[in-house]
Structure formats: C-alpha cells, structure tokens
C-alpha cells in the first residue's frame, strides 16, 4: 500500500519505520494542518496520529479524497456521530481506535468479561488508573475512556465516568497521571473491605501501537464502512 501519514510526531516517525518493514510505501507525510484532499490522491490509505483539534477535519478530507483512514488520534469522540454520517455520505472507510495494541485490545475484552462478573458483586467498587508520558495532550487517555465505557456497559451502579475529581459520587473514577518516559499503563482495580482485585496493561514501548495501526490499515484496505479493532482481532 501507499500510505499517507497525517501527523509526524513520535508515532508518525515510528509508523514510517514499521510500514516500510511490512513492505509498504510512505506516499505523503502531512505535518501541518493546511493540507487538502488533493494531497491524498496518490495514496491508498491514510493513518492519522495528529492532534484532537485537527483529527475530525483530517477525517473529512480523507473521505472527500475517497481514501480509507485509520485514526489513532483520540480526544474527538464528541464528533463521532458526525464522522459516522460522513462515512455513510461519502461511502468512505474508517477504522478509529483509542489503542491499536493487540495486548490492549485483549485487555479491553478481559475487562468486558470481568465487569459482567463483578456487576453481581455489590461489595466491590471499581476505579481506573492510567499513566502516560508528559507529552500526551489528552487526559484521561482514550484507552482509559474506552475501558470506562466498557465497564459502564456492564455495571449498573455507575452512571458515568469522571476524571481526577475530589468527589466522584456515583461516577466511575479515572485517575490520570503524567510521568516522564511512560509509554502507557492502564489498571482497573476492584476493591472491597476485605480484598482487592486488579487487571493491568503496561506498554514497554510504542512498537505495539504502530504495528497494530499498520495491521488495521491492511485490514481496512479495499473495504467500505466503519470498523473497529474488534473486527481486526475478531473477538
């Protein structure tokens, strides 16, 4: 595939390396916001790791160019319905994910099953902890939000999630920290008066995120519609 990279930070540079390792070509590197749909015309696929304030516009440009897009940028979920409508309108193809790591997607599925079990155990409360590098813009992380949404689907006694609050009420707590050199750590903790149960995922480096995004792009190639990593890993 000829892949256009949208955003060229640490992830963009790593994607360039991993794409070439899997025998793909980098057709364009779009570092700034002022590019147009015409810039994608010689590409088979776009992969966006840009910023929350530009991701939605980037997706729209890809749809207009009739180029499938994999989106790893997080923090734009409020516009998800708009993007879904555009996908239908342009007969486009998109695969967004808060995290492309295979391990993290296994972590998601384990939490889905565990939260079903723990919903019947009313003596336990639950919270999410996440830690990332200091350069990460959005807080809490998209992965933490996805984890929270999975738990909220299965557990009755939380109405929503809330991050770094002094009073969570009946909201699911997400405790977000930023620490130098941390690729990404997520932990879900169930706690009662007598014991504690936890499940966690710790990224050792960013390679899993980049390789997963390339695999997602390979899956999306020549498809139409809205997909997720669940389609890729076939849970």
Catalytic residue IDs: 132, 136
d(CA 166, CA 162): 10
Rg, the chain, Cα only: 18
Which one, of 10, 156, 4, 158, lies nearest residue 69 by Cα?
A: 4
Contacts 24+ apart (CB under 8 A), 82-85: 82/56, 83/56, 83/59, 84/226
User: What number of other Cβ atoms are within 10 A of residue 175's Cβ?
Assistant: 17
d(CA 156, CA 106): 23
Among positive and negative, which fits the CA dihedral 87, 93, 97, 103? positive
d(CA 39, CA 211): 24
Question: Which parts of the chain fold into alpha helices (H)?
Answer: 10-21, 55-64, 80-90, 102-118, 142-154, 207-220, 229-233
- Alpha-carbon distance values, 222 to 11, 16, 176 (Å): 24, 21, 38
């Amino acid at each position: 595939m000829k892949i256009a990279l949208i955003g060229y930070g640490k992830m963009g540079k790593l994607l360039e390396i991993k794409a070439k390792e899997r025998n793909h070509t980098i057709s364009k590197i779009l570092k700034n916001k002022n590019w147009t749909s015409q810039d994608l015309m010689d590409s088979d696929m776009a992969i966006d790791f840009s910023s929350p304030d530009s991701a939605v516009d980037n997706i729209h440009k890809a749809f207009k160019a009739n180029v499938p897009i994999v989106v790893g940028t997080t923090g734009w979920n409020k516009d998800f319905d708009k993007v879904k409508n555009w996908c239908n309108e342009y007969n486009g193809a998109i695969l967004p994910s808060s995290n492309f790591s295979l391990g993290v997607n296994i972590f998601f599925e384990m939490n889905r099953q565990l939260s079903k079990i723990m919903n019947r155990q009313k003596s336990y409360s639950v919270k999410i902890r996440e830690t990332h590098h200091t350069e990460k813009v959005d807080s809490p992380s998209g992965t933490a939000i996805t984890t929270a949404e999975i738990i909220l689907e299965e557990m009755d006694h939380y109405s929503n999630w809330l991050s770094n609050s002094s009073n969570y009420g009946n909201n699911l707590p997400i405790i977000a920290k930023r620490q130098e050199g941390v690729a990404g750590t997520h932990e879900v903790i169930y706690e009662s008066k007598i014991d504690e149960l936890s499940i966690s995922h710790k990224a050792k480096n960013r390679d899993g995120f980049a390789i997963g995004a390339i695999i997602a792009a390979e899956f999306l190639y020549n498809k139409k519609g809205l997909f997720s990593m669940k389609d890729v890993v076939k849970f």
